[in-house]
Structure 1
């Protein structure tokens, strides 16, 4: 143990030893003043001085000066911060935070589950809030717009009391617009100074999937999403008023019943695309346990520990200050007070403002306490150690500043935390490079290896999704092209048939015209023949007469 102490012994603020220089000048000055400037010494012959002066009293008179020097040295050593023992001080996030997004569109009145989707969702929401014995919870309802019912609070009883009033009738507009609800949820986290939390969506449909997916992916590491569906794929009619059985059901403009179906595949696909979990609402609590459990699918997409611990040296200087108490008590003797006053009269080229707490805690220790109390701004102003300062930026959500600080720390932990910071900003490829550097510095860094594997899987998953989307887009374009070709061929065929029909009509008309002309010609010939016959008969009659 002694060897360990000697090996680790050092001073946290060794610059304070420069105070020995002015102490030396003061000591020499006071010693000269006491030993040479006495009036007796100036008037008495030096040969007679030993016989006339009591040297024993002179030694006693010089003893206060010696004790002052001893006190000064002890104070310098204490302030310099002797340390030989280090302790890990982990930084902890605030309590578990959850924001629930509750769908209040009219489709929640569908009766495919008993008694209807809304009542079933109310019961599930109440069960969930009762199970929230720790952490803070917020509630947002959404339809065509999103509205905050409760900010983040640990008073779940108040939220439970408001559940019966949550009906589609309180919403000014309809339509399951999830994007606005997600924006509101992230704002709730930010307003409460919470840098990481979870979002749970209870819905039967998402209409703005593309925009909602963009928001969710941007914040997937800080605020991962879970999705719980209510309703069935077969669907059912939507009651106009669940409190009145004779109120009837919702119909479209043509008078047909509107059947609200749940597209489970689309909801599952959305959850997969944003790296979240999906579960159908059940009568028991297995859906809640799965969606909110820390050891589930979400944990495979979150980073292991936000940052690694940094070593903090335990300062032993305050114990040395205790030795000054008995020495300082001697200063109250009347003939010693002048020596203390001399110390305050010594000019100083530079003045240092030192608070009482500075004698007992380092700035880093004070910053750590401020950070534990949630005062990140004060912690940032106190931290001197770049590791702690970077961690404070990270904890306060200032990832840009944290990135700058961690980039200057060329250790495996520094690179590891840089990777976490980049991952929080969604820059996964850069995060992967940082984890790789951390492993190059220490191949036994298990956390860096874990997160590196996690990011690689996520990048592969995104690439697969991108390729799948690209393939689907190509297939869609091909289908559209084929459909266009078919439509073009059909149109050409119709045009050809129309031309043939028109040509046939023209030929028919021409034939009819020829037949008509022929008939007319025949009729003219017949009439002409009749006229000639009549004329001949008339001539014959005249001849006979």
Structure 2
């Protein structure tokens, strides 16, 4: 093309024609980059439910019986399933409560799932110095985390081996029922029990030197779920239990509420104008 425009024209006209061609190609390249300029504000409504995940971080969650052949602790299995849940959520607010002999809010209700994953990664058995498994305290702390959120759209997902040492689990379940909060329980571990690893190696033993076994207390978990209108699911190796509870339990039985609204910048595409300008220059160039 440059050879064609350079023959039979003056040097000045030739420079103009070359400039038009170069400018046309530059405009085309910018158009391919999908240039955006200027924006409008868009109002975005978020609808969903409020979910607090209460995770047991007591020493019994270190038992390696969460998969066939061992080597995967109950806590590791639970963290994996919560991570999968966070990546599945869209529009629901989520919070995290950690509990052992007592409980506290690790992550307040949020729509920032990436931030929730960061808080989740910090959960470990050395996080709470008070030993034991206070399921009742976990439920009550989760109820406090719902303060200010819409009623009838609140659920607790309780993940534990079910060994309640406080004796207040069912009493707390009644309070959850009164508040209209459903508890969906996930039982981690085996009914026959497994030894608890000791800090100095080997396994934990009682005063009689007998090995201490951590057993899954399914009856307690089932009663909690039944009392609050939730559901109990046993965590089985290879099964996506938490996803099932979320989709078939929480989302299928609870109504989404307006949780929050925000303004989002919507950038305007301008590449069409650059493409049109490029074509115009190529049309003008032969003259």
TM bin, normalised by shorter chain, reads: 0.5 to 0.7
SS at match of 1:170: coil
Say if 1:94 and 1:194, in contact at 8 Å, map to a contact too. no
Give secondary structure in 1 for the equivalent of 2:197: coil
Deviation at residue 119 of structure 1 after TM alignment: 1.4
Of structures 1 and 2, the one scoring higher in RCO (CA 8 A, sep 6+) is 2
Does the CA-based 8 Å contact 1:107-1:260 persist in structure 2? Answer: yes
> Counterparts in 2 of 1:59-98, with a 5 A limit?
94-98=47-51
> For residue 133 of structure 1, what is the aligned residue in structure 2?
90
* Shift of residue 372, structure 1, vs aligned partner: 9.5
- The 1:119/1:101 distance shift into structure 2, 3 A limit, reads same
Judged with a 3 Å threshold, the aligned counterparts in structure 2 of structure 1 residues 299 and 160 are, in CA distance, closer, same or farther, namely closer
Aligned partner of 1:110 in structure 2 is 63
- Structure 2 stretches lacking a partner, 5+ long: 1-44, 262-287
Shift of 1:170: 1.3
Q: How many Å separate the matches in 2 of 1:127 and 1:97?
A: 17
- Correspondence list, 1:45-444, <5 A: 94-113=47-66, 114=70, 115-191=72-148, 193-195=149-151, 196-205=153-162, 206-207=164-165, 208-219=168-179, 221=180, 223-241=181-199, 247-284=201-238, 286-293=240-247, 295-296=248-249
In angstroms, what is the RMSD of aligned CA positions?
2.8
What does the per-residue CA deviation read over 1:461-499, in whole Å, with 9 as the maximum and x for residues that have no partner?
xxxxxxxxxxxxxxxxxxxxxxxxxxxxxxxxxxxxxxx
Residues 275 and 298 in structure 1, CA contact (< 8 A), matched pair in contact too:
no
Post-superposition Cα deviations, 1:358-399, rounded to whole Å, max 9, x if no partner, equal xxxxxxxxxxxxx9978xxxxxxxxxxxxxxxxxxxxxxxxx
Please tell me whether the aligned partners of residues 239 and 247 of structure 1 are also in contact (alpha carbons under 8 angstroms).
yes
Structure 1 residue 108: Cα displacement:
0.5
**Separation in 1, partners of 2:84, 2:215:** 25
* TM-score, length basis structure 2: 0.64
Mapped to 1, the partners of 2:119 and 2:195 lie a distance apart of: 27
Q: Post-superposition shift, 1:215?
A: 1.6
Cα distance in structure 1, aligned partners of 2:259 and 2:65: 49
The alpha-carbon deviation at position 174 of structure 1 amounts to 1.8
Q: How many residues align?
A: 209
Q: Secondary structure at the match of 1:172?
A: coil
The structure with the largest alpha-carbon Rg is 1
Q: CA deviation at 1:184?
A: 2.1
After superposition, give the CA deviation of every residue in 1:280-326 in whole Å (9 maximum; x if it has no partner). Answer: 12344542233112x548856x6x899xxxxxxxxxxxxxxxxxxxx
- The worse-fitting range, judged by mean Cα deviation, of 253-262 and 113-122 is 113-122
Question: The residue matched to 2:48 in structure 1 has which SS?
Answer: coil
Q: Take 2:250 and 2:75, find their aligned partners in 1: how far apart are those partners? A: 27
SS at match of 1:171: coil
Q: Deviations over 1:407-437 (max 9, x none)?
A: xxxxxxxxxxxxxxxxxxxxxxxxxxxxxxx
Pairwise CA distance, 1:217 = 1.9
SS at match of 2:51: strand
Cα distance change, pair 285–198 in 1 and its aligned pair in 2 (3 A): farther
Q: TM-score, normalised by structure 1?
A: 0.35
Aligned pair in 2 of structure 1 residues 94, 248: CA closer, same or farther (>3 Å)? same
Q: How many Å apart are 1:186 and its aligned residue?
A: 2.0
Quick check: which one's strand share is greater?
Answer: 2
Change (3 A) 1:265 1:178: closer
Gap regions ≥5 residues in structure 1: 1-91, 307-370, 375-545
1:179, CA displacement in angstroms? 2.4
